[in-house]
Amino acid sequence: MKKGILFCATFLVGALLLAGCSGKSMNPFAAKSQLSVQKDEVKRLSEKPAKGDQEKVDIDRVVVQMVNETRAGFFDKAISIGESAFEQGRQSEKFLDTLAVAYGYKNQLEGLTDREKKKYVETARLLLATDPTNTGKKNLLAAVLIDTGNFNEGNKLAAEIYNALPQKTKEVMDTYGWGLYRAGKAKEALPVFQALMQAGPDNLSQTYHTAVVLETVDKAKALSLYKKIVDWANNALTWEENRDNLASTALINKIRKDAQDAINRIQLRGRSAY
């Protein structure tokens, strides 16, 4: 697996970070180059803003605060900062993207309250409203709906996106296939993930989803994939950009543990068959 493609959403999303993969490279938790931009922003925000720029600077400061709290693993604090600004009407595309990332990490690692799930969906809808034709933002909304348990609307939107694309992107394939699986349609999800496996998943989340669905028909292949996930996760934890990012390392560790648990389960069943 190539370095630098571990996180996009989106796990997101469930995805990693599904959030932050809205069609533009705005996710401040993913790539080293983007983290450098955030550091430049912090420096810029310490300077006195030009007349008329105060509102933009204020919302950018909120974004930086949310980024810092999310990276430190303080998801409740990041969400609280974002929701407070949200209620004051201080929003931007980058703000919505960053708030969605915070919701996404908490949903994956700790779980969201029912109220937070509604806010997560609302944030994804508003993000799509900034660019209604953007496939990435549509896919993000579909993934968020699925990840928060709204399979009817989420899978309907995911299917519309999937069927409308002559060339299926890996993000769209993952969202569509995982939605089918989560809704109890593993048989329908299988060819989607077989195609994704053929194309080569882009991140740990996509690879884990592929292994889970593949396990329903071929435990040997799934076992091999789970082992690769553990190896890739161990490698990702050594990357410089992940060392000081507690959110990323926590999610990598979660996926690694889930994969290792699957390995143990398959191997135990295999031994008990003899």
What residue ranges do the domains of the chain occupy?
Answer: 32-272
Q: Find, among 114, 109, 142, the residue nearest to 127 by Cα.
A: 142
pLDDT(178) > 70: yes
* pLDDT of the residue at 34: 34
pLDDT digits (tens, 9 = 90+) for 52-75: 555 565 888 999 999 999 999 999
Residue 116 neighbours by CB distance under 10 Å: 19
Q: How confident is the model at residue 250 (pLDDT cuts 50, 70, 90)?
A: very high
Give percent of the chain above pLDDT 70.
78
Residue 59 neighbours by CB distance under 10 Å: 17
CA pair distance 34, 263, nearest whole angstrom = 35
Q: What is the mean pLDDT of the chain?
A: 84
pLDDT(205) > 80: yes
8 Å CB contact between 11 and 109 = no
Compute φ and ψ for 46, nearest 5 degrees.
Answer: -80, -15
CA pair distance 51, 32, nearest whole angstrom = 32
pLDDT digits (tens, 9 = 90+) for 162-172: 999 999 999 99
Class of domain 32-272 as given by CATH? mainly alpha
